[in-house]
Structure 1
Amino acid sequence: MTDTAVYAAGAVIWRLVEGKMRVLVVHRTAYADVSLPKGKVDPGETLAETAVREIREETGIRVRLGPAIGISRYHIAGKRQKIVHYWAAQATEDAIRASTFVPNKEIAALEWVTPKKARTHLSYPADIEILDSFLALVDDGVLETFPIVVLRHGKAEARDAWAGPDATRPLTPRGSRQAKALVGPLRAFGVRRIVSSDAVRCVQTVTPLAAALGREVHRTARISQDSWEEGLADVRTVVGKRVRSGKPAVLCSHGPLLGEIMSEIALATATVKGSYLGSSSDLEPAAFSVVHVSAPHPGSGIVAIETHATKA
């Protein structure tokens, strides 16, 4: 991010009504316009966190993010550039019923419309371009997805300075801050299942997330560095189970195993391998890649991959 730009994030929120696609547009009070839900990044937030928070604030609907669908850029007052990142986000019926939205000084009304009507209702060409990117996912039949998040553990104590077994190396103070900072971004993608190498540094990385979700950390030696160094790692079993489950999950492991984890996700989803596997697995401590997999057809290939880093 640059100091001269204003960053924001939002989503095309969608649902199926009697099998027909509907998308949500917001009627903004102050601007007397119609737009997609979005808002500016708060200090310390990631873009993914911003999108989920702003959607909740503007519509009352809690969503989890699906694939990223585009970035709009335009100039605002003072010749500053505004850069808005968008995702697709399904609104479940439970989430819609739980919404406490009432018209307010910011949002006058919410409206569920067909994509065709949305194109005529939206006030700005940039929003229409994002809608068209969303509809490309619809046309490709890959809108319904679930995420498998590949996470590298946070910053740990140096190996050559640690007297005990490598698996017992803990996070540094910075690593602990990174672990806490991961909670918001991972929740934005709806992570529910937490699978971790049994090494202390990995377990500590996902412990704050587990506490926030009220979930347990499923520890396994199959994706630990000790097992990998001994030739005993079993990444395929772990990845295969996650793909079959069709549930949002995070796999927390070590740098040397990340490439193999990504390769196994590609194999399990019948995805053609490419250079993207290397870039999405070359992660700094506490960074993660979100692999979006088709929910109805997980064997049809990876839908999208996006990579994020923590700000701690």
Structure 2
Amino acid sequence: MSKNEKEEHLAIGVDLGGTNIRVALMNKMGQILQEGSRLTEAYKSRDYIIQNMIKMINTVKGDYQIKGIGVGSPGPINQAEGRILDPPNLKSLHQCPIVEMLQSEFRDIPIYLENDANVAALAEARVGAGAGKKSVIYITVSTGIGAGIVIDGKLFVGAQGNAGEIGNMIISEKGPQVANLNTGALEALASGTAIERVGRERLGIDGGAKEVFALAMAGDSVALKIVEEVKTYLSIGIANLMHLLNPSIFVIGGGVMQSGEWLLPQLREKTSHLLFPSMRSHLMIEPPMLDHKVGVIGAGLLVFT
């Protein structure tokens, strides 16, 4: 590591998840130099979790001078206050002033907080599948559905930081009404939770998207119909975003897409048919490149925005 890199161009990324905390020392190119992970133990107290995080940061930091610490957390968050609000899988950290708590330990180091979908989008846009592209929309299809928008290398978060909440985008007025989502919202129709619900209702199974996809690949007609519906709903959502923002590329990740990565070519074709003919040749839908490190890399890159 060069002297300049040691003094000026290092950051620490923290990926705070419901299951694991990942921490990495990295440079502005997203290259990880030191890293560590441990269980979040989300059932334990706020102080226990934050102190664990501080220990991990100090371990990877060593005696290096760093430019800042970026934290990616499940939303919702209040970025202006540096506070985690009420993510379902981190109940111990509800209303947690995480930036203030970290700042009390790392007094002279700037702390940055962003939601996990946005940091994943930043990572894929800067050093992943969207590298070199002018505009990138990263969509995660997992337990829920969300998106991050990166334009000219910078996150677009909207007036109150809520840009990208596409899970609540209305896709079908005849769709289900689930939790606090709109009736017929994309997340209620095509997320992992939605696929699990429909699989239970129509197939009597509890294996979630993975089992539905396996049955579809084996030729089960009911499972095939469920998968076809999911592709339709996702393609409508992507087409809406294409007409609205016309990004250079869509990067689609998340647990559902990992289980059904074979869906991607069909999703491209289905989406293409919903676009103006002149836009079809410009549609790019690709899988992510950074896998499970996307969160920690994106968190570190917050420091260099």
**Larger proportion of strand:** 1
Greater relative contact order (Cα 8 A, min sep 6): structure 1 or 2?
2
Q: Provide the TM-score with structure 1 as the length reference.
A: 0.31
